[in-house]
Amino acid sequence: MKRILAILVEDRPGVLTRVSGLFSRRGYNIQNIAVGRTIEPGISRMTVTVEADRLTVEQVVKQLNKLVNVLKVSDLTDESSVGRELMLIKVKAEPEKRSDIQQMVATFRAKIIDVSPDSMIVEVTGDEGKLQAFMLMMQEFGIKEIASTGNVSLLRGGRTTREARG
């Protein structure tokens, strides 16, 4: 099962290496990881998606909490949260296909952010299912390149990650 972890860390060199190293030493593959600043200066937030059962993740959370520079670890999987991913897709855009691409972009509430003589770059955000569906539709035109952020998630309502179970 996919588990989503929110990890608050001090913004220091080597923290990402220590966190990812903990997963690799235990043989768990990180499916995606997104790291960014928070509203608190000197604190970053990692959102990590890993394929593991709940008991395994509970052990990983305990071990993460022991790492220097880790402030809080929360498993958001069973919490009420909102998650999104961002994907940029560069597709072949022959002149006769551009209107079809634009129609598909509108259907998925995506945005065309760059146009060149032979391609378009489209920005799409949503959950993993939406991105996979959009990518499948874009294959018809010919995908040249893809870049994606991975999942970022926040708890719904007034609670923050610092207040979540962990």
Span 59-88, pLDDT tens digits? 889 999 999 899 999 999 888 889 999 999
Choose the weakest-confidence range: 22-26, 30-34, 42-46, 92-96: 22-26
Span 152-166, pLDDT tens digits? 999 898 777 777 766
Q: Is the pLDDT of residue 53 over 90?
A: no
Looking at residue 47, its pLDDT comes to 95
Q: Which CATH architecture has domain 83-152?
A: 2-Layer Sandwich (3.30)
Measure the CA angle with vertex 108, ends 89 and 104; round to 5°.
75
The whole-chain average pLDDT of the chain stands at: 92
Place of tokens 């008991």: 55
Residues of the chain with CATH 3.30.70.1150: 83-152
Going 53 to 72 to 29 to 50, the CA torsion angle's sign is positive
Burial of 22 (0-12, 13-18, 19+ CB in 10 A): middle
Span 108-121, pLDDT tens digits? 999 999 999 999 99
Looking at residue 150, its pLDDT comes to 84
For 2-79, give the CATH class.
Answer: alpha beta
Confidence category of residue 95, pLDDT binned at 50, 70, 90: very high
Backbone angles phi, psi at 159, to 5 degrees: -75, 150
Q: Is the pLDDT of residue 126 over 80?
A: yes
- Alpha carbon distances (Å) from 118 to 47, 57, 103, 104, 146: 35, 46, 18, 18, 16
Could you give the dihedral angle defined by the CA atoms of residues 87, 15, 158 and 128, in that order, rounded to the nearest 10 degrees? 20
> How do strand 111-115 and strand 143-148 relate by DSSP bridges?
unpaired
